[in-house]
């Protein structure tokens, strides 16, 4: 039986950790202890014949080198914010020097023109297709379905379904719309936005750690994994303190860069 894996390639929020401008205790820890560092949020799905990126953060090159990923077959973007698309340019020379053909790139419908304006020199590198909410895209033994998220612009989370499990990936969302919640209930894995440790500065766009944990309970998720975490928004936090926060909640995990889940 071929193993399919879902890897969290980056588990951090927009500034990453450590951030070059910050000396909070979380960033100090991340400088002194590389395992505590968090690159910007993204994920990599690997099947028998496909390697699929979910978002292309600015740290993409470092993530691919770190994980020894040398082939990319498909890309899905959740939304058009820089910390989720900023690494697209890193794929130019992969296509020109090795792949020799464009990579299918699935974008939010409203991001197609933004992509063309931002990266006119990359139009030969990608074949762009607007994804559609609730439409399933099949690859090998799994399907990827974009579902609406609550964020400041058109944003999807992805329901990843295999023969063995269902995983929902929502790195940027404030709770879930009712139509999405119905699809997500009972998933084996809910990987979701937990941007803030402490007060949530943007409750219409993001969640705090405790709000994410509560969402997992409401969705009856078998496992809840917190991602898109900042160590210095609202209330700086170290890795140990973060683990202590989630330790009292059964089946809740704090994501880390390189975390793998078998599907």
pLDDT tens digits in sequence order for the chain, 263 residues long: 458 999 999 999 999 999 999 999 999 999 999 999 999 999 999 999 999 999 999 999 999 999 999 999 999 999 999 999 999 999 999 999 999 999 999 999 999 999 999 999 999 999 999 999 999 999 998 999 999 999 999 999 999 999 999 999 999 999 999 999 999 999 999 999 999 998 999 999 999 999 999 999 999 999 999 999 998 888 899 998 999 999 999 999 999 999 999 99
State whether CATH 3.60.15.10 applies to domain 5-258. yes
> 113 with 119: CB under 8 angstroms?
no
Q: List the helix and strand counts (H, then E) for the chain.
A: 8, 14
Dig out the tokens for 49 from the structure. Answer: 């014949």
103-107 vs 126-130, strand pairing mode: parallel
Give residue 2's pLDDT.
Answer: 57
Environment class of 98 (CB within 10 Å of its CB; exposed 0-12, middle 13-18, buried 19+): exposed
Give residue 105's pLDDT.
Answer: 98
Among candidates 1, 86, 176, 16, which has minimal Cα distance to 168? 176
Dig out the tokens for 45 from the structure. Answer: 């799905």
Give residue 3's pLDDT.
Answer: 84
What pTM does this model have? 0.96
Show Cβ contacts of residue 244 under 8 Å, excluding neighbours closer than 6 positions: none
Give residue 147's pLDDT.
Answer: 98
The number of beta carbons lying within 10 Å of the beta carbon of residue 240 is: 10
């Amino acid at each position: 039986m071929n193993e399919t894996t879902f890897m969290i390639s980056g588990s951090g929020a927009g500034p990453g950790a450590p951030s070059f401008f910050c000396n909070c205790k979380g960033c100090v820890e991340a400088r002194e202890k590389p395992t505590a560092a968090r690159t910007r949020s993204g994920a990599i799905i690997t099947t028998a014949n496909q390697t699929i990126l979910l978002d292309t953060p600015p740290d993409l090159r470092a993530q691919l080198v770190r994980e020894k990923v040398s082939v990319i077959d498909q890309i899905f973007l959740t939304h058009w914010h820089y910390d989720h698309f900023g690494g697209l340019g890193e794929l130019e020379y992969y296509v020109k020097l090795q792949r020799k053909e464009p990579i299918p790139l699935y974008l939010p419908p409203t991001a197609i023109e933004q992509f063309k304006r931002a990266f006119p020199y990359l139009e030969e590198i990608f074949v762009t297709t607007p994804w559609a909410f609730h439409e399933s895209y099949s690859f090998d033994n799994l399907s990827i379905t974009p579902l609406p998220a609550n964020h400041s612009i058109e944003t999807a989370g992805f329901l990843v379904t295999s023969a063995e499990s269902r995983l929902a990936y929502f790195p940027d969302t404030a709770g879930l719309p009712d139509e999405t919640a119905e699809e997500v209930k009972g998933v084996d894995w809910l990987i979701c936005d937990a941007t803030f440790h402490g007060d949530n500065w943007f409750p219409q766009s993001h969640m705090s750690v405790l709000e994410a944990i509560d969402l997992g309970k409401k969705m009856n998720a078998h496992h809840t994994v917190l991602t898109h975490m900042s160590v210095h928004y609202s209330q700086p936090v170290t890795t140990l303190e973060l683990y202590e926060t989630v330790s009292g909640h059964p089946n809740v995990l704090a994501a880390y860069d390189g975390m793998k889940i078998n599907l």
